[in-house]
């Protein structure tokens, strides 16, 4: 099961109501972070997520509200005697910026930190992949896709009987090998299982103005987390951000199941932003608050909060 936990949902600067961007993906015991704005360590503690379970951090770009929480996170891992390596991914200049960052202050990590600079890449990790894609923010910046591998269907007893077979130990062997021979006949796994289940797909744009690549990488996503910093283009000006209506239009074109409007500017109160979004958006959407979470199981999802 995949859980998407919103640790910080606002943009630019933290305030009393919400923190700056960070999203935790919890999958099979592992925690992946997308962005790590200042105060993320506190948000993790509140959400009862252990920093020691974080194996990978993906930074969308190097504006302070998206990465300045990294130092306190690494120092805490060191204080807790972490030994497992930590992998940090990001756009061009990530290696240079992280090296400079780690040289500040009187401390040294107790574990290895592996830094990876990405362009548009497809990274494979066991039962899931992370894709990176370029966005438009005036500086090197990336969006990310979490894509769970498609799952095979369950064994279908009706198909098994049609082949004149009975359930038995051969099913485990077939599951491991993909095909086996029974009574001189080759049986393939797909002969006795249902349709494959599509793996969960979650997309995070980071900060960006609208661009065609977002629509392409978001196609048929279960969840699109799209920055919608401003309500209107007049308020946005020339800041390389997106508006609510632009986010909703992309979600509609990409046939996204659920849109999360993210990175709300400090000038907007939650209710004001939500009411305006309801007027502007004709796509299914949410405006998440800090510590809201979305749990995916198969093709269904559940919204809840851990506040």
Is 66 annotated in a binding site? The answer is yes
- Whole-angstrom distance, CA of residue 34 vs CA of residue 204: 8
Q: Would you write out the chain's pLDDT as a tens digit for each of its 307 residues?
A: 899 999 999 998 998 889 999 999 999 989 999 999 999 999 999 999 999 999 999 999 999 999 999 999 999 999 999 999 999 999 999 999 999 988 888 888 989 999 999 999 999 999 999 999 999 999 999 999 999 998 777 777 887 787 788 888 888 887 788 888 888 888 887 877 777 778 999 999 999 999 999 999 999 999 999 999 988 776 666 788 899 999 999 999 999 999 999 999 998 999 999 998 999 888 899 999 999 999 997 667 888 877 6
DSSP 187-251: EEGGGSB-PPBPPPEEEE--S-B--HHHHHHTTT-SEEEEE--BSSHHHH-SSS--BHHHHHHHH
Active site residues: 65
Among 231, 226, 221, 225, smallest CA distance to 210 is for: 226
Is 61 annotated in a binding site? The answer is yes
Residues with Cβ < 8 Å from 69, sequence gap 6 or more? 22, 36, 37, 38, 39, 40, 41
201: alpha, beta or left? (left if phi > 0; alpha if psi -120 to 50): beta
- Whole-angstrom distance, CA of residue 154 vs CA of residue 254: 29
Is 290 annotated in a binding site? The answer is no
- Whole-angstrom distance, CA of residue 186 vs CA of residue 192: 12
Write down the residue that tokens 């943009």 correspond to: 11
Rounded to two decimals, the pTM is 0.87
Domains in the chain and their CATH numbers? Answer: 2-151+197-305 (3.60.15.10), 157-191 (no CATH)
Is 116 annotated in a binding site? The answer is no
């Amino acid at each position: 099961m995949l859980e998407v936990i919103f640790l910080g949902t606002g943009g630019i600067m933290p305030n009393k109501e919400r923190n700056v961007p960070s999203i935790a993906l919890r999958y099979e015991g592992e925690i992946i972070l997308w962005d790590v704005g200042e105060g993320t360590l506190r948000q993790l503690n509140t959400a009862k997520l252990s920093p020691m379970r974080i194996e990978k951090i993906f930074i969308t770009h190097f504006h302070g509200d998206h990465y300045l929480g990294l130092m306190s996170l690494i120092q805490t891992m060191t204080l807790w005697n972490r030994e497992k390596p930590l992998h940090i991914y990001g756009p061009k200049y990530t290696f240079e910026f992280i090296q400079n960052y780690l040289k500040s202050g009187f401390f040294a990590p107790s574990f290895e930190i592996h830094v990876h600079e990405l362009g548009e890449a497809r990274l494979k990790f066991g039962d899931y992949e992370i894709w990176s894609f370029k966005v438009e923010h005036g500086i090197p910046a990336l969006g990310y896709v979490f894509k769970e591998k498609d799952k095979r269907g369950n064994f279908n007893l009706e198909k098994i009987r049609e082949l004149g077979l009975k359930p038995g130990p051969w099913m485990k062997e077939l599951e491991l090998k993909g095909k086996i021979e029974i009574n001189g006949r080759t049986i393939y796994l797909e002969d006795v299982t249902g349709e494959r289940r599509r793996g969960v797909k979650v997309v995070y744009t980071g900060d960006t103005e609208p661009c065609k690549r977002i629509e392409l990488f978001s196609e048929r996503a279960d969840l699109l987390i799209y920055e919608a910093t401003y309500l209107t283009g007049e308020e946005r000006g020339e800041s390389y951000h997106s508006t609510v209506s632009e986010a909703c239009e992309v979600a509609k074109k990409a046939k996204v199941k659920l849109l999360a409007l993210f990175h709300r500017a400090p000038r907007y109160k939650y209710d004001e932003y939500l009411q305006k979004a309801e007027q502007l958006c004709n796509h299914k959407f949410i405006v998440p608050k800090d510590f809201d979470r979305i749990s995916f199981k198969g093709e269904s999802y559940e919204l809840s909060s851990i506040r």
